Amino acid sequence: MFAFGLTIFWGACLLFLVQPLIARFILPWFGGGPAVWTTCMLFFQVLLLGGYAYAHFSISRLRPRQQVILHLSLLALALMLLPITPSDLWKPVDSQNPAGHILLLLLACMGLPYLVLSATGPLFQAWFSASHPGVSPYRLYALSNIGSLLALLGYPFLMEPNLGRHAQAVWWSVGLGIFAILATWCGVTVWQRASSTTLVKETTDEEEGVISGFQRFQWFALPACGVVLLLAVTNKICQDIAVIPFLWVLPLGLYLLTFIISFDSPRWYRRRFWLPALVVALAVTAWLMLGDHTITVSEWFGPLAFIVEKAESVGTFAKLGLYLATLFISCMVCHGEVYRLRPSARRLTGYFLSISAGGAVGGLFVAGVAPLIFLNYFELHMGLMMLATLVLGVLYRDPRSPLQQGTRRWAWVLLLVGLPLFATTLVVDTYCSLKGAKELSRNFYGVLKVNEYYAGEPDQHQFSLQHGGTLHGLQFTSPEKRKIPATYYTDGSGVGRLMRTLHPEGGRKIAVVGLGTGSMAAWGRKGDQMRFYEINDDVVRLAQSTFTFLADSAAKIEVVMGDARLSLEREADQNYDAIVLDAFSSDAIPVHLITREAFETYRRQLKPGGVIAVHISNRCLNLEPVVLQLARHFQLTPAVIHDSDVDWGFEDDSYNAAYSSDWILLSKDKALLDQPFIASGISEPEEIPKSMKLWTDEQSDLLSILMVDDHTFLSWLKGL
């Protein structure tokens, strides 16, 4: 048993270590958003299904020794295809069909190794069952999930901070070699004990009992629901905080933990505890979602609004904990019910194949279908409503429980609490998404919403562009105000001070990474050339149709589609006077734009004495020490400018469209940064922590700059 347990454990470790590892390689090439991880998860779920299908075919169609020969041959071929690191040839040349490009890339680089590892669980459990008749193999499934969980926890805390990407890939390849040795050990055991007919002891349907169609459906539907909730919650917390491996790993780790608990022993899943917990979780999650729209709730529900208003005061990380608790409880119910419906070892591979198929369909729904049918992120609403419906069906059809009437009462509680609550939140979210929206669109890179304000007041009439929860600029429509660079680009902002100091008469050549509404174009003067780099087609369409900054600018405007860094790397030297990096204000920051290698590209494209202006305003990430460390490495003088709200002299302060912003200007020309209008806004830079490493393409650590209540996440953990 030791050989099988160790092999299954080690294979699961490798299977889940490679997921964040390979995502770190390709995340920079596709904009750094949460959809990249969701697409990767779809690939992993589909390949897991392929591995389980292969295991099912092998066990049901081949003799034991044939199974051993086939599996070890595939494993040897997988070793020959190492390493799994994608070459630069896979870098996208445009922003078209990023999801399809990611799936093809992953298939070519790691398809066979991942497929072989995916088959480990069901295949080796079946081999174990044949070698140890009468011993349940299901605890080995729990053991495999323990290996997966340890790998996931080890990645953000051990591998990512201490090893570069290529070093991680090398050690993973070594691990696959060790796995091949362990698999051969198990294969020899099976070879020696194999019969010439079948691997698993035959049982008849009469001995086991007939498997109903409803039971098979639940094998598929409950895991599908679990994956929908996993990816929906991951999307939610990545939008609210940041797209970092730690926040991918956290929900995935809880998801795996529910498998470990559920499949270890039937005693851990007790309906009388988990179903009431699910009802509470549904209510709390609906409360949090409605809390994002208290004004609408007040209009619709009046006296109940005071309950929802309390949700506004819940902190970001408290919300994170509550959403993760909901995920854990929901997946415990999903997987606990699946375990209750488990068949005998004879049907083990078909059972796991159904579970895997459900997971693949759940991943396909979130990554592929939802962006096409939903205008906003409604997957979490749908997943929780689906869960309530499935549990209702399971309890209603359960003939085995002596407390069937009691379970039916719980079914009605789920029906009366879960479904109406989330139907309400879905209606409210849909209404609020459309309310005040001139346009709403969703694609691979997220949800864009154009809001209209003060439609009946021409002097204050304005449009704003929102990407998820982040404002990307606004513009007045009146002729007197529409050329004003609002929000983070005002006179008092870091970039505003730079533009008023750096050849203000015109003739400048400026690169802007991140288009938004095109607000930077308002600073264009006659003779200026401004080149905007943007990866999202919808952003460009809206900037050119709804907003007029680009059309109104006196500068010559050019928009380059695709990832900014890849475009700058391909271009000949441009001799820019300034490069404005405005891609870090949202929660899904593109880390590859703020590494040593990225700054080497910027310096090549910059005139001697030119300026790099970095917009570091961010709710959850403290990017200042990262940029200061880069400045120190390249011997650039930094000017940190924290701009407070600007009074434009409007009679009503509510019409003030200036936002606080944080900028860092970097240049070798210290005299430029000492000019009065820049120098008057400079703040004392914060001290760079001794533990702060220079960020590179190989190694960066977003976890170290994650903020909680004005403290870094790691220092906050130490305080706890």
Please name the fold of domain 1-197.
Growth Hormone; Chain: A; (1.20.1250)
Token representation of residue 124: 């080796």
Q: Quick one: how far is CA 337 from the chain centroid? A: 28
Does residue 325 surpass a pLDDT of 90? yes
Q: Residue 201: what pLDDT? A: 45
Q: Which one has a higher pLDDT value, 663 or 124?
A: 663
**∠ CA 200-201-207 to the nearest 5 degrees?**
125
Does residue 607 surpass a pLDDT of 50? yes
**∠ CA 78-83-88 to the nearest 5 degrees?**
130
Tens-digit pLDDT profile for residues 440-451: 888 887 788 898
Q: Residue 257: what pLDDT? A: 87
Q: Which one-letter DSSP state was computed for residue 159?
A: I
Does residue 712 surpass a pLDDT of 70? no
Token representation of residue 164: 């570069």
Q: Quick one: how far is CA 429 from the chain centroid? A: 21
Alpha helices (runs of H) in 635-706, residue ranges in sequence order: 670-673, 676-679
Orientation angle between helical segments 64-80 and 34-61, nearest 10 degrees: 150
Average pLDDT over residues 82-98: 81
Q: Residue 205: what pLDDT? A: 45
Q: Are 4 and 143 in contact (CB under 8 A)?
A: no
For residues 271 and 258, give the distance between their C-alpha atoms in angstroms, rounded to a whole number.
Answer: 14
Q: In 616-687, which ranges are E strands?
A: 637-643, 661-667, 682-683
- Least confident interval from 425-434, 521-530, 571-580: 425-434
Orientation angle between helical segments 34-61 and 348-364, nearest 10 degrees: 160
CA-closest candidate to residue 311, choices 294, 295, 327, 298: 294
Q: Which one-letter DSSP state was computed for residue 617?
A: -
Q: Which one has a higher pLDDT value, 565 or 193?
A: 565
Measured in degrees and rounded to the nearest 5, phi and psi for residue 640 equal -90, 125
Token representation of residue 645: 């709200």
Cα distance from N-terminal residue to C-terminal residue, the chain? 41
Reading across the β-sheet that carries 437-443, which strands appear in turn?
Answer: 437-443, 446-453, 462-467, 470-476
**∠ CA 701-176-695 to the nearest 5 degrees?**
15
Token representation of residue 363: 């991943």
Question: What's this model's pTM, rounded to 2 decimal places?
Answer: 0.76
Orientation angle between helical segments 120-131 and 138-154, nearest 10 degrees: 140
Q: Are 413 and 277 in contact (CB under 8 A)?
A: no
Does residue 104 surpass a pLDDT of 60? yes
Q: Are 452 and 436 in contact (CB under 8 A)?
A: yes
Tens-digit pLDDT profile for residues 471-509: 888 999 999 888 988 888 988 899 999 999 999 888 999
Q: Residue 95: what pLDDT? A: 64
β-strand pairing of 462-467 with 637-643: unpaired
What is each CA distance from 104 to 43, 90, 97, 109, 637, in whole angstroms? 9, 9, 11, 9, 43
CA-closest candidate to residue 661, choices 712, 618, 613, 711: 618
Instruction: Kindly indicate the confidence band of residue 275, based on its pLDDT and cuts at 50, 70 and 90.
Output: confident
For residues 246 and 436, give the distance between their C-alpha atoms in angstroms, rounded to a whole number.
Answer: 35
Q: Residue 550: what pLDDT? A: 95
3-state secondary structure at position 635: coil
What is the per-residue DSSP string for 494-537?
HHHHHHHHSSTTS--EEEEE--TT-GGGGG--TT-EEEEEE--H
Q: Residue 453: what pLDDT? A: 86
What is each CA distance from 48 to 23, 45, 75, 693, in whole angstroms? 17, 5, 16, 36
Average pLDDT over residues 272-290: 82
For residue 262, the one-letter residue type is S
Token representation of residue 54: 């292969």
Q: Residue 655: what pLDDT? A: 41
Average pLDDT over residues 525-538: 93
CA-closest candidate to residue 697, choices 626, 565, 596: 596
Residue 66 — left, alpha, or beta (φ > 0 → left; ψ -120 to 50 → alpha)? alpha
Domain boundaries, the chain: 1-197, 212-435, 488-719
Q: Residue 198: what pLDDT? A: 45
What is the per-residue DSSP string for 51-83?
HHHHHHHHHHHS-HHHHHHHHHHHHHHHHHT--
Orientation angle between helical segments 64-80 and 165-193, nearest 10 degrees: 160
**Topology match between the domains 1-197 and 488-719:** no
Measured in degrees and rounded to the nearest 5, phi and psi for residue 106 equal -65, -40
3-state secondary structure at position 612: strand
Average pLDDT over residues 449-460: 86
Q: Residue 529: what pLDDT? A: 96
For residues 76 and 602, give the distance between their C-alpha atoms in angstroms, rounded to a whole number.
Answer: 44
Average pLDDT over residues 183-193: 88
What is each CA distance from 380 to 117, 219, 257, 330, 393, in whole angstroms? 30, 21, 20, 12, 20
- Least confident interval from 96-105, 371-380, 503-512: 371-380
Residue 672 — left, alpha, or beta (φ > 0 → left; ψ -120 to 50 → alpha)? alpha
Measured in degrees and rounded to the nearest 5, phi and psi for residue 576 equal -70, 145
Token representation of residue 286: 């609906």
Tens-digit pLDDT profile for residues 196-220: 444 444 444 444 556 777 788 988 9
For residues 562 and 546, give the distance between their C-alpha atoms in angstroms, rounded to a whole number.
Answer: 21
What is the per-residue DSSP string for 394-457?
HHHH--S-TTHHHHHHHHHHHHHHHHHHHHHHHHHHHHHHHTTEEEEEEETTEEEEEEEE-TT-
Which range in 244-248, 317-321, 436-440, 629-633 is most confidently predicted, on average pLDDT? 629-633
Measured in degrees and rounded to the nearest 5, phi and psi for residue 470 equal -115, 130
CA-closest candidate to residue 511, choices 475, 465, 565, 547: 565
CB proximity list for 129: less than 8 A, separation 6 or greater: 135, 137, 199, 200, 201, 345, 348
For residue 419, the one-letter residue type is L
Q: Residue 148: what pLDDT? A: 83
Residue 269 — left, alpha, or beta (φ > 0 → left; ψ -120 to 50 → alpha)? beta
For residue 643, the one-letter residue type is D
For residues 568 and 259, give the distance between their C-alpha atoms in angstroms, rounded to a whole number.
Answer: 46
Q: Which one has a higher pLDDT value, 711 or 556?
A: 556
3-state secondary structure at position 485: coil
Burial string for 517-545 (b: 16+ CB within 10 Å, else e) reads bbbbbbbbbeebbbbbbbbbbbbbebbbe
Token representation of residue 336: 């606990």
Q: Residue 196: what pLDDT? A: 42
Average pLDDT, the chain: 82
Average pLDDT over residues 363-383: 84
β-strand pairing of 446-453 with 437-443: antiparallel
Instruction: Kindly indicate the confidence band of residue 691, based on its pLDDT and cuts at 50, 70 and 90.
Output: confident
Instruction: Kindly indicate the confidence band of residue 460, based on its pLDDT and cuts at 50, 70 and 90.
Output: confident
- Least confident interval from 417-421, 556-560, 601-605, 635-639: 417-421
For residues 132 and 414, give the distance between their C-alpha atoms in angstroms, rounded to a whole number.
Answer: 42
CATH 3.40.50.150 applies to domain 488-719? yes
What are the beta bridge partners of residue 464? 451, 474
